[in-house]
Amino acid sequence: MKKIILITLAFTIFSCSKTRTLILQTENAEGITNETKLKVNGFEIGKIEDVQLNENGKVLITANLKSEIKLPIDTEFRIEDEGFVGGKIIAVKVGKSNERLNEKSILMLKKQNETFINDSLKVNIEKVINQISGKDKNDSILIELRRLNKNLEKKKPNG
């Protein structure tokens, strides 16, 4: 009797999975980690479980979605920046098909298109952060100290 109860309990636990798994494939997974989240319009629907490189050099990303999320087969997945200083997210654009993605479906993951404005914003933000942190100032002080040291070396009397 105990065996039947244990088997029933184990079956119930495994059949009531709280996540569904998808496999996302990409050429470049720069910035994607196990902390990366999948989001639809800013709402979190899942997160990354694993990132691996396959034998063909493609990156395979195992994503766990909340079990109640049922995505159409024409849903798009794209790597995007999460704000100016945030990390990366996988933005999900829900499709319109009546057919749903299956467990362990393998889908192509697109990379965010870099734009001139996006690039220049990143550069400007880095400059501001460097100014706030004093990095630029520290660099210029170091340059001046080196220049001063060279001048002192030149003026040393020969011993």
The chain-wide mean pLDDT, for the chain, equals: 79
| Per-domain boundaries in the chain | 17-112, 119-155
How far apart, in Å, are the Cα atoms of 11 and each of 16, 21, 66, 68, 124? 8, 19, 20, 20, 55
Contact 61, 26 (CB under 8 A): yes
pLDDT along the chain (159 residues), means of 10: 53 57 90 90 92 90 91 92 78 93 85 57 71 67 80 73
The class of domain 17-112 in CATH terms is: mainly beta
- Take residue 6 and report the two structure tokens written for it: 């244990």
> What pLDDT does residue 11 have?
46
For residue range 105-126, what is the model confidence (pLDDT) as tens digits?
888 988 766 554 455 666 677 7
The angle formed by the CA atoms of residues 127, 132 and 136, to the nearest 5 degrees, is 55
